[in-house]
Amino acid sequence: MCYIAVVSAAERLDAAFGALADPVRRAILLRLVEGEATVGELAEPFEISQPAVSRHLKVLEGAGLIVRRVDGTRRPCRLAPGSLDDLDDYLARLREALEINYSRLDRLLAATRASTAEPHERKKEGRKS
């Protein structure tokens, strides 16, 4: 069941993985968290051309992470609804980041307990097993 969940997540996220693997595209997404922006505005902080930014935007659009609308000659981009656009999502990500450290701390605490346990306690554990 775990296997199926992982594989279906893999299929669903395949495009998103590719899109998120690139630091420029991640930076573009973070910029869009602040609101809608045009290609020119998105290209500004990077030392790359507008056509290069446009190629990145196509990848993000293909992965369903952003949407674009037509406004005269402009095609401003924004995060796709439900993508990365609210505080709950930030919190979920931050929770994952912190949890990586704390599950490591769990293992460290368990190892510390085991190595400082009284000898007779360890013997008891040994007999149990």
Partner 1 sequence: MSLTLELEGDTVVVARRRFAAPPEDVYRAHMEPALIQQWLLGPDGWSMPVCINEGRVGGKIRYEWSNGDGQGFYLTAEILELDPPHRIVHVERMHLPDPTPDNRVETTFTADGEGTLMVMRMSLPDAATRKAMLETGMEHGMEASYARLEDQITSTMPAG
Figure out which of the listed residues 71, 90, 121, 125 binds partner 1, where binding follows CB under 8 A: 90
Piece of the chain touching partner 1 by CB under 8 A; list 12-20, 42-50, 66-74, 117-125: 12-20
Identify the helix (H) or strand (E) that includes residue 68: strand 66-68
Q: Which of 76, 90, 88 is nearest to 32 (CA)?
A: 76
Closest approach of partner 1 to the CB of residue 6, in Å:
5
Q: Which stretch binds partner 1 (CB under 8 A): 43-51, 68-76, 89-97, 117-125?
A: 89-97
Please name the residue that has the structure tokens 């056509």. 51
Among positions 12, 58, 69, 113, the unique one binding partner 1 when judged by CB under 8 A: 113
Residues 6+ apart with CB under 8 A from 123: none
* Closer residue to partner 1 in complex, CB, 50/91: 91
Indicate left, alpha or beta for 64 from its phi (over 0: left) and psi (-120 to 50: alpha).
left
The amino acid at residue 113 is R
User: What is the contact surface with partner 1 in residues (CB under 8 A)?
Assistant: 3, 6-7, 9-10, 13, 17, 20, 26, 30, 33, 84, 87, 89-102, 104-110, 112-113
